[in-house]
A and B are shown apart, each in its own frame.
Chain A
Amino acid sequence: MTVLSEHILEEIRDLPSKFPQPRSAVMPALDLAQEELGHLTPEAMTEVAHELQLDPGYVEGVATFYTLFHLAPTGKHRFYVCTNLSCMLRGADDVVARLKSEIGVHEPGEVSKDGLFSYEEVECLGACEYAPMCRVDHAYHYDLTPDSIARLVAERRNGGSAVAAPKKARAPRKRKADA
C-alpha cells in the first residue's frame, strides 16, 4: 500500500520525460505529493524517489531546501506572510503579530489547536507594490492591515467550504522564486 494514491504516482511517472535531465522532475513531483498529503513524509519522499528512480536522500535534500515544502503537518489553511524588506517597512510585523494571536500559535510552522491554520514568514513574494502582503493557500492578498488579516482568518474559520484549498492535484505550475 502506497501513501500516495495511484493517480498521483501515475502523474509523477509521466514527469521526467518533460525535462532534459529526468531528475529535474523532483520539484513538481514533490509538489504533487504535498498537494495530496498536506506535507511530505519520509514515506512519501521515498515513493517519489522510487518513481523517479532517484535515491530518497536526494529527494529529501531538495525537500528540506525549499521552505514551501513542508516536512511536518500544517494547518488546513497556510498563511505565507512576507516579512521581507518592503513588507516589513510597511508593517508586516504587526500583521504577523495579529495573525499569531488570531490563530493562537507562537511560532512559524505551529498548527492551531483546531488544525485549521498555520503560518510561515517568507521572503519577498514579488508583490512589493502591494506591501504588506501574504499568500493564503494559493491566493495572494494585498495591502494587509492587522484587521484585514484577522478577517482572512475569520472568513476561513466560518465559511470553510467557499475558500477551501483546491482538493484536486493540479498540473505542475511554474513556481515563483522561493528564496
Chain B
Amino acid sequence: MTIDGQSVTVPPGTLIVEAAKNVGVEIPVFCYHHKLDPVGACRLCLVDIAPGPPRPQTACTTPVAPNMVIKTQSAMAVQARAEILEFELVNHPLDCPVCDKGGECPLQDFTFRHGYPTSRIDGPRLHFKKPIPLSANIALDRERCVLCYRCTRYYDEIAWEQELTTGQRGVQSFITSQFDQPLTSIFSGNIIDLCPVGALTSRVWRFESRPWDMTQTGSVCSKCAVGCSVTLWQRRGQLVRVTSRENDDIDEGWICDRGRFDYTDVNDPKRLRVPVVKGAGSTWNTAIDALAAGIKGKGPKLGISLPQDLTNEEAFLFRRLLDGPLKGAKVKMHGRTALPEPDPNQLLIKEIDDARVIVVVASDTEKDVPVVNLRIKKAVSKRGAQLIVVHPDGVDLDRNPHTVHVRNAAGSAAAEVEKLASHELLKSPGGPVAILFGDGHGSEDAADLAAACAELASKVGGKVMPLYRATNERGALDAGVAGWDKLDGVQALLSWGPPPTAGIPSSVKFLATWDHLQRPDHSRAAVVLPATTFAEQQGSYTNLEGRVQFLRPPIPVAEPLKESWEVLTELAVALGLELGYTGIFAVQRDAAQTLPGLADLAEPPSPTPVPTPVLIGPAHP
C-alpha cells in the first residue's frame, strides 16, 4: 500500500493511523489512542482512501488492505480535517492563556497544522461551571472537552471502573463522575495524560509552569516494586510534575496515582538539608563521627531500619558495613513482604499478556502492585485470559463477571493453591499459566505459599511471580540486606527513611535518623542526617521481576546535601573500614562483580543525565 506516495508494508489488520506513523506521516487524532480500542468518535483522522467510496474515511478504524492508496493531503482530506477542527472549536472557550495544556496541546497543534487560520464561528458557546474538581488531584473543564471519550474508555477498558462517565447525550454530552462524587480510583491520574486537550488537568501541578519552562528526565518510579517508567519534570530546581513514560515491558504507559501525585515532599521548604547533632546544626564530619561512635561495636544491640526505596548501590554498601564493622546488627526493611527469594526463571510482567489462565493468590494487586493489576486486566479483557483469584476478601479483579474467586480462610492460601491443580480451568489451560502471589500482608506462611505456587506451576505448565511490595525489595534481597528482624530490645537505632512502622522501641538509648523530612521522632535523635530523594540521587532499583533500572535525577544535589554513597563511604571510614570509593561508578562496578543479582550495574547509563528540552508537539501522538 502507499501513503502519500510512500510505499509501506505492515502486517494485515494494522490500522491506517499506525501504518502512517511508520513513514512519518502525521494523521491527527483525538479519540484514537494506541492502547484503547478504536471508536471513530471524533472524525479528525479523515483521509482519502482508494479504492473506496468517494468520501473521506477515518484512518483510526480502517485497517490496511493490499494495494490501498491513501492520501492525507488530497483536497478532500485536507478540507475534511480542517472542517472537523472548526467544529471542535464551536464550543471551545479558547482560553489557552490560562490553560495548563498550552504548549503541549494537540488541539492547539493540530489547529495550527491542519485547521483554518480563522474561524467562521460566531454564535453563543456552551457554558459550564469550571473548573470542576473531579478529585483532590484532577480538575475538569467541560468547556474545553472535545468529547473524544478517551478518559471514559480508559476507565472502562483499562481500569475496569465506571466512576467516570458521560452524562446526557449528543451536543449536550459532558464528562462527569458518578453522582458528582470525587473519583476514588488509584488509576485516575492517567486520564490527565490521555486527555488531548486541557479538559483534564492536574490540580497538583495547576498553574505551575509551561512545558517549555521545564526539563524532562526519564526515570523510574520509586513508590513500589513494579518500577514503572516515569518522566520527571523540573523547573528551577523543583520537581514540578511526574508523568508516565511508556515502557511496554512494564507499564504500557500507565502509572498509578501514588507514582504520579506523591512527589511534593521533594520540594518541601522544611526539608532537612544540614546534619544536626544534639539539636544543633553541624558539619558532616562531626555528625558522621557522632553516628559512628553511637553505633560502633554494638553487634545485635544495634538495630537498623531501611527505607523501602533503598537503591541497589546503597544496599551493596550496607552489605559491606554489615559484613564488617556492623556485623550482627538487626535489620528491618520498610514495607517489605515476607516472600522468599525468587525463582530465577520467574514470570516477567510482559509475559502476563500471553497467559491463558492467570492465578492471583493472597494479594490485592490493585493496592500491592497497581500497574501489574492493569496488566492482568488487559490480559483478561483484551486477550481472553481466564482469571482465578484466591483471597479472603473481594478484590477489584472480581469486576470481571467471569473471575473465579476462591475465598480462603486467611492462612490457608497454600492449601487452596494445592487444590487448584485439578481445577477445571487448569486441567488443560491451552497455553501458559501465570501464577502471581503475595504474602497476604503477613497472614500467609510465605515460604509454604511460594512452594505451593512453584509446584502448581510445574504441574500446569506455568511460571510464578512473587509480588514484592517494597520498591527495591528485590535488590535488597540480592544484596542480603532485606532484613525482617524485630527491632525490640535494641539499644542503638539507625532509622533511615521514615521511622519503623512499629515505632521506635523504648529500649533505644542512641537514636540516629537519616531522612529527607522533619518528623516528630527526630527530637529524640542524637544525630539527624539529611537525605536525598529519588529526584536527586543516582542509583538503581531492581523491580519485582528482577529488572535493574536506573534513576535519572532531574535535580542536582545541592550542598550541603550529600549523595548517599558518599555518606556511607564516609561512615565506613569512621567505623574503621576503608572502602575507597570516589564515585558511584566504582560502587556499581564492585557490586556487579560481587553480587550476581546486581550484574546489570556494570553498565550504568551516563552519570550526568542530559535533560531533554521539550519539543513543542503533541504530548501523546
Q: Is residue A140 contacting chain B, with contact meaning CB distance below 8 A?
A: no
Asked if B113 CB lies within 8 Å of chain A CBs, one says no
B174: nearest chain-A partner, CB-CB = A64
The answer to whether A53 has its CB under 8 Å from any CB of chain B is yes
In the complex, which range does the number of interface residues on chain B fall in? 10 to 19
Instruction: Report the bound CA distance from A66 to B166 in whole Å.
Output: 12
Give B138-170 interface residues, CB cut-off 8 Å to A. 152, 156, 161-169
Complex Cα gap A65–B179 (Å): 14
Q: Who on chain A is nearest to B402 by CB?
A: A22
**B179 contacts A60, CB within 8 Å?**
yes
Cβ of A53: which chain B residues have Cβ within 8 Å of it? 399, 401
A58-B167 contact given A22-B401, A42-B179, A53-B401, CB 8 Å threshold:
no
Q: A22-B401, A42-B179, A53-B401 are in contact. Are A60 and B167 (CB under 8 A)?
A: yes
CA distance A45 to B162 in the complex (A): 13
Whether B177 contacts A57 by the Cβ 8 Å rule is yes
The answer to the question of B247 belonging to the interface, with a C-beta cut-off of 8 Å to chain A, is no
Residue among A42, A56, A61 making CB contact with B166, cutoff 8 Å? A61
The residue that B165 contacts in the complex, of A22, A42, A46, A57, with Cβ under 8 A, is A57
Per the bound structure, the CA–CA distance linking A52 and B340 in Å amounts to: 40
Task: For B178, list chain A residues within 8 Å (CB).
Answer: 55-58, 60
Given A42-B179, A56-B178, are A61 and B401 neighbors across the interface (CB < 8 Å)? no
Docked-complex contact B399 and A64, CB < 8 angstroms: no
Whether A57 touches B162, Cβ cut-off 8 Å, given contacts A22-B401, A42-B179, is: yes
Given the contacts A42-B179, A65-B169, A57 and B164 also touching, CB distance less than 8 Å: yes
Query: Which of the listed residues A16, A45, A57 has the most CB atoms from chain B within 10 Å of its own CB?
Result: A57
In the complex the two chains form, is B179's CB within 8 Å of A61's CB? no
Size bracket of the A interface: 10 to 19
Q: Identify which of residues 161-196 in chain B touch chain A, using a CB-to-CB cut-off of 8 Å.
A: 161-169, 176-179
- The residues in A between 108 and 160 inclusive whose CB is less than 8 angstroms from any CB of B are none
| Contacting residue for B167 out of A46, A56, A64, CB 8 A | A64
Does B163 lie within 8 Å of A61, measured CB to CB? no
Residues of B within 8 A of A61 (CB): 152, 162, 165-167, 176
Which residue of the partner chain A has the closest CB to B168?
A64
For A60, list chain B residues within 8 Å (CB).
165, 167, 176, 178-179
Distance in angstroms between the alpha carbons of A16 and B401 in the assembled complex:
11
- In the complex, A64→B178 CA distance in Å? 11
Alpha-carbon distance between A54 and B163 when the two chains are bound, in angstroms: 10
B179 nearest in chain A by CB position: A42
For residue A57, give the distance in angstroms from its CB to the closest CB of chain B. Answer: 3
Closest residue of chain B to A54 (Cβ to Cβ) is B162
State the Cβ distance, A52 to closest chain B Cβ, in Å. Answer: 10
Alpha-carbon separation in the docked complex, A60 to B156 (Å): 14
Q: Which of B351-401 contact A (CB under 8 A)?
A: 399, 401
B165: A residues at CB distance < 8 A: 57-58, 60-61
Indicate if the CB atoms of A55 and B163 lie closer than 8 Å.
yes
Q: Are A57 and B401 in contact (CB under 8 A)?
A: no
B551-563 vs A, Cβ < 8 Å mask (1 yes, 0 no): 0000000000000
Q: Which of A1-54 contact B (CB under 8 A)?
A: 16, 22, 42, 45-46, 53-54
Residues of A contacting B399 in the complex (Cβ-Cβ under 8 angstroms): 53
B 561-596 contacts with A by CB, 8 A: none
State whether B162 touches A58 (Cβ < 8 A).
Answer: yes
Contacts of A64 in B (CB 8 A): 167-169
- Which A residues are in CB contact (< 8 Å) with B169? 64-66
Distance between B153 CB and nearest chain A CB, rounded to angstroms: 12
- Complex: chain B residue closest to A178, CB-CB: B169
Q: Are B168 and A65 in contact (CB under 8 A)?
A: yes
How distant is A173 from chain B, measured CB to nearest CB, in Å?
22
* Residues of A with C-beta under 8 A to B161: 55
* Distance of A125 Cα from B95 Cα, bound (Å): 41
- Interchain Cβ contacts under 8 Å between A and B, 14 examples: A53-B401, A55-B161, A57-B163, A57-B178, A58-B178, A60-B165, A60-B167, A60-B179, A61-B167, A61-B176, A64-B167, A64-B169, A65-B166, A65-B169
11 extra interface residue pairs, beta carbon distance < 8 Å, beyond A53-B401, A58-B156, A60-B179: A46-B179, A55-B161, A55-B178, A56-B163, A56-B178, A57-B177, A58-B162, A60-B165, A61-B165, A64-B168, A65-B169
Pairs of residues from A and B, 10 with the lowest C-beta to C-beta distance, nearest first:
A57-B178, A61-B165, A58-B162, A55-B162, A57-B163, A64-B167, A57-B165, A65-B169, A57-B162, A56-B178
